[in-house]
Amino acid sequence: MEDNFINLGNIKGETSQRYMISSDKQYFPFKAIDKFGKFIRLPSRLMTATDALVQAPNILAAANYQAYMEGVKLGKTGDELNQYIKRSC
Protein backbone atom coordinates (compact mmCIF):
# COMPACT_ATOMS: atom_id res chain seq x y z
CA MET A 1 0.00 0.00 0.00
CA GLU A 2 1.44 3.34 -1.04
CA ASP A 3 0.86 6.44 1.07
CA ASN A 4 0.54 10.00 -0.05
CA PHE A 5 2.56 11.88 2.57
CA ILE A 6 2.10 15.27 0.94
CA ASN A 7 -1.70 15.10 1.13
CA LEU A 8 -2.48 12.98 4.20
CA GLY A 9 -6.21 13.16 3.55
CA ASN A 10 -5.64 11.06 0.45
CA ILE A 11 -4.74 7.69 2.01
CA LYS A 12 -5.24 4.47 0.10
CA GLY A 13 -6.77 1.64 2.09
CA GLU A 14 -9.03 1.21 5.05
CA THR A 15 -8.15 2.67 8.44
CA SER A 16 -8.76 -0.64 10.19
CA GLN A 17 -6.07 -2.27 8.05
CA ARG A 18 -3.55 0.51 8.63
CA TYR A 19 -3.71 0.58 12.42
CA MET A 20 -3.47 -2.90 13.84
CA ILE A 21 -3.31 -1.75 17.50
CA SER A 22 -6.74 -0.16 17.75
CA SER A 23 -10.28 -0.86 18.85
CA ASP A 24 -13.65 0.82 18.42
CA LYS A 25 -15.23 -0.80 21.51
CA GLN A 26 -16.12 1.31 24.55
CA TYR A 27 -15.09 -1.26 27.19
CA PHE A 28 -12.08 -0.06 29.27
CA PRO A 29 -9.38 -2.55 28.19
CA PHE A 30 -10.20 -1.94 24.55
CA LYS A 31 -10.09 1.84 25.01
CA ALA A 32 -6.70 1.48 26.73
CA ILE A 33 -5.40 -0.60 23.83
CA ASP A 34 -6.61 2.05 21.40
CA LYS A 35 -4.88 4.85 23.36
CA PHE A 36 -1.68 2.81 23.62
CA GLY A 37 -1.78 2.11 19.88
CA LYS A 38 -2.08 5.82 19.12
CA PHE A 39 0.77 6.60 21.52
CA ILE A 40 3.05 3.94 20.08
CA ARG A 41 2.49 5.23 16.50
CA LEU A 42 3.29 8.84 17.42
CA PRO A 43 7.08 8.74 16.81
CA SER A 44 6.72 7.19 13.36
CA ARG A 45 3.98 9.68 12.43
CA LEU A 46 6.23 12.56 13.53
CA MET A 47 9.10 11.19 11.43
CA THR A 48 6.75 10.80 8.46
CA ALA A 49 5.56 14.40 8.86
CA THR A 50 9.15 15.64 9.04
CA ASP A 51 10.04 13.68 5.91
CA ALA A 52 7.06 15.20 4.10
CA LEU A 53 8.13 18.70 5.14
CA VAL A 54 11.56 18.07 3.63
CA GLN A 55 10.26 16.19 0.61
CA ALA A 56 7.61 18.68 -0.58
CA PRO A 57 9.97 21.61 -1.38
CA ASN A 58 12.34 19.22 -3.15
CA ILE A 59 9.53 17.90 -5.34
CA LEU A 60 8.43 21.43 -6.22
CA ALA A 61 12.03 22.49 -6.93
CA ALA A 62 12.56 19.48 -9.20
CA ALA A 63 9.39 20.30 -11.16
CA ASN A 64 10.45 23.94 -11.56
CA TYR A 65 13.94 22.90 -12.65
CA GLN A 66 12.50 20.49 -15.22
CA ALA A 67 10.20 23.20 -16.60
CA TYR A 68 13.12 25.66 -16.71
CA MET A 69 15.30 23.23 -18.67
CA GLU A 70 12.48 22.49 -21.12
CA GLY A 71 11.85 26.22 -21.57
CA VAL A 72 15.52 26.90 -22.26
CA LYS A 73 15.60 24.06 -24.81
CA LEU A 74 12.64 25.69 -26.55
CA GLY A 75 14.56 28.96 -26.71
CA LYS A 76 12.41 30.92 -24.27
CA THR A 77 13.95 33.78 -22.26
CA GLY A 78 12.85 36.42 -19.75
CA ASP A 79 9.13 36.80 -19.13
CA GLU A 80 8.29 34.22 -21.75
CA LEU A 81 10.37 31.65 -19.82
CA ASN A 82 8.76 32.65 -16.53
CA GLN A 83 5.26 32.20 -18.00
CA TYR A 84 6.27 28.82 -19.42
CA ILE A 85 7.49 27.67 -15.98
CA LYS A 86 4.30 28.88 -14.28
CA ARG A 87 2.11 27.09 -16.82
CA SER A 88 4.14 23.89 -16.56
CA CYS A 89 4.07 23.70 -12.78
- The pLDDT tens digits for 26-71 are 777 878 877 887 888 888 888 988 888 889 899 999 999 999 999 9
pLDDT recorded at residue 32: 84
Rounded to an integer, the average pLDDT of 12-33 is 65
Q: 2-34 in b/e burial notation, b at 16+ Cβ within 10 A?
A: eeeeeeeeeeeeeeeeeeeebeeeeeeeeeeeb
For 8: left if phi > 0, alpha if psi spans -120 to 50, otherwise beta; the answer is alpha
Q: How do residues 62-86 score in pLDDT, each as one tens digit?
A: 999 999 999 999 999 999 999 999 9
Query: Is the pTM of the predicted complex or chain greater than 0.85?
Result: no
